[in-house]
Structure 1
Amino acid sequence: MSVKEMLEKGNSHFEASLSMVGFLKEQALKEAVKYYEEVLKIDAQHTEAKRKLEKCRAELLAPALPFKKNNFKRYGAVTAVIGFILIGFYYWNWYTTGKEDMKWVKATFYSTIRYEDTARVYKEMFFRMNKYANTWLMDDTTNYALGLYYEEGRGGAIANIDKAIDFYEKVDDSYPDANYRIGCIFFKGLGNKMPDSEKAKKYFELAANNGVVIANNFLGLIYLEGNHKDFKLAKKYFETASSKNEKWGHYNLGYIYEHGYGVTASPSQAAYYYELAAKQGIPDARTALARVRPTSSPSYSSYNKPKNSAQKQPFAALDGWNAINSLLRKR
């Protein structure tokens, strides 16, 4: 590189330093010094190189100038604008990504998942829902689904009944399955909850009033076997369930007619409802049907009197929780 070219390079860095501050100014001056020193190695008497070198060294030794207030305002405003742009971009990206995630979750929740894909899909669904939990991107469907995942420990979620209830309660009453699930939690005493028929009744009533047929059957069980027995109310709820072809409603109506709970015992009526339940696949109903319809007594004459407590068979729908587990399955 010739002396002229080195001098031009030095001048270029020196002039650039005049519009800079801080670290950038220092770097530009050091570059200029480097070129001026190279010129003086070739021509030790080069006047311009000497003069500019002295200026550069003086600038490098000078204390840093205080940051002017007007500069602070100017750069602060620029920083604020850039910050708002970045926040806006982040929010837009979060919103569009989240909207697509929730759209996929809802479509998948209502679809049939192949058995071999279940673990992978459940894990992905939980990851996406949990990512946006407690944000306004969640709606009734996704809050209900996330509650279900926490209740059952599905998709990698650690089972947590309190979290399940929290998400179920975010769901509007117009989505009654959530109230039904909370009722089941308190009815059976799942997780860290003790059985509480009063709380269960509250949620089952909300669910029943919004169209969950099986909730009527649970209300009947509460009045049949709970702390505040009311056989007439139990019968009313079983009849509501039975009228909508709910199999456990059929079964429990058969039970109260067999044993005379709030009604005159009637083996023929019991047999009618047991038969409806048996046709819908309840094994206990077939056993009960054989009990009230013995082949040797087609007239049912031996079943006309109400049974005393010593004669009553154990209530299958509450015995050992086997039947209750059937009731707790998803509708």
Structure 2
Amino acid sequence: MKHLILTILITSFAFSLSFEEVREIEKEKGVLEALSSYRVLAKREDTNSIFRLATLYLKGEGVQKSISTAKIFLEQGSLLNHHKSTYFLGKLYINKKSPYFDEKLAFNTFLKAANDGYAPAQNMIGQFLAAGIAVDKDYKLAIKYFEYASKQGDEDAHCNLAFMYANGKGVFPNFGRAHQFAKEGVKNGNKKCIKVWETYNLEKYDEDKGWKFNFYTKPSN
């Protein structure tokens, strides 16, 4: 009887916790202490808890690593329109070491989040289009997706646009504009921006002052 009462009290307590409170429990006492509460919240369709469970199983952090279990949670989160879950599910499909490797499925998964305005997924779709992965190469459409992400302040998208302008892929070559797109990423140590900067010696080109670059670099409201 005492065991039953204790179980009821623990379950009631778990149901009353928020994701933020469970996260604090994890930080203070470890994953195992927080796991059951995350699961309770996941059953209540709390997308933050669902995604946290997915990442724990992906990394094997405090639990036995299980890509298949992580995939189940990412799919659950994606169905609930949690863009980060959808994005990580896409990354699972694009990883050649993953048992679920499928480039076409990866593209369609990223596209779902991209079309909902999620910047990292928009940037990824641009990369698929620029490289011709799972779809035909389309530099002009790649530029559009890079721009969508760039306008939200996505640094990788800035770097990709720098490369496209330096290379003249989908746009007229413009080293001054490439300079503008890459310079902040270079300061931040972004390897992609640094590579473009050094490969095309962008330091020697003046910035494109006649272009409203802030429109692309200031995060959208």
TM-score above 0.5: yes
Mark the structure with the bigger radius of gyration: 1
Q: Relative to structure 1, is the Cα distance of residues 299 and 150 closer, same or farther in structure 2, using a 3 angstrom cutoff? A: closer
Identical counterparts, % of pairs: 21
1:93 CA displacement: 6.7
How big is each residue's C-alpha offset from its partner over 1:193-213, in whole Å with a ceiling of 9 and x where there is no partner?
Answer: 22x222112222222334431
Please provide the CA RMSD for this pair: 3.2
Q: Work out the CA distance in 2 between the residues paired with 1:280 and 1:201.
A: 29
User: Aligned pair 1:124/2:33, yes or no?
Assistant: yes
Are 1:163 and 2:69 matched, yes or no?
A: yes
- Give, as a single letter, the amino acid of the residue that structure 2 aligns with 1:175: H
- 2:91 is matched with 184
2:26/2:34 contact within 8 Å kept: no
Inter-CA distance 299–139: structure 2 relative to 1 (3 Å threshold): closer
TM-score calculated relative to the size of structure 2: 0.75
CA contact (8 A) 2:179 2:206 kept: no
Quickly say closer, same or farther: Cα 1:112–1:101, change in 2 above 3 A: closer
Higher RCO, 1 vs 2 (CA within 8 Å, ≥6 residues apart)? 2
Quote the residue 2:171 is aligned against: 263
What one-letter code is carried by the residue in structure 1 that aligns with 2:155? K
- Secondary structure of 1:170's counterpart equals helix
Report the equivalent of 1:8: none
Rounded Cα–Cα distance in structure 1 between residues aligned with 2:26 and 2:187: 29
On the 8 A contact 1:205/1:215 being kept in 2, the answer is yes
State the match for 1:144 in structure 2. 51
Distance in 1 (alpha carbons) for counterparts of 2:34 and 2:26: 12
1:199 is matched with which residue: 100, 105, 116? 105
The equivalences for 1:234-273 within 5 A come to 234-273=142-181
Residue 268 to residue 112, structure 1, CA distance change in 2 (3 Å): farther
Moved over 3 A (4+): 92-96, 102-105, 108-114, 127-130, 136-139
Structure-to-structure mapping, 1:67-106, within 5 angstroms: 97-101=10-14, 103-104=16-17, 106=19
Task: Look up the match of 1:5.
Answer: none
Q: Distance in 2 between matches of 1:93 and 1:102?
A: 14
Offset of residue 137 of structure 1? 4.6
Q: Distance in 1 between matches of 2:167 and 2:22?
A: 43
| Per-residue deviation, residues 69-112 of structure 1 (Å, max 9, x unmatched) | xxxxxxxxxxxxxxxxx9xx96x875653342255471245559
Q: How many residues align?
A: 202
Q: Which residue of 2 aligns with 1:328?
A: none
What one-letter code is carried by the residue in structure 1 that aligns with 2:150? S
Q: Do structure 1's residue 216 and structure 2's residue 129 form an aligned pair?
A: no
Report if the CA contact (8 A) 2:159-2:196 is conserved. no
Residue 232 (1) aligns with residue 140 (2) = yes
TM-score (norm 1): 0.52
Amino acid corresponding to residue 141 of structure 2 in structure 1: L
For the residues of structure 2 that align with 1:105 and 1:154, how far apart are their CA atoms?
Answer: 21
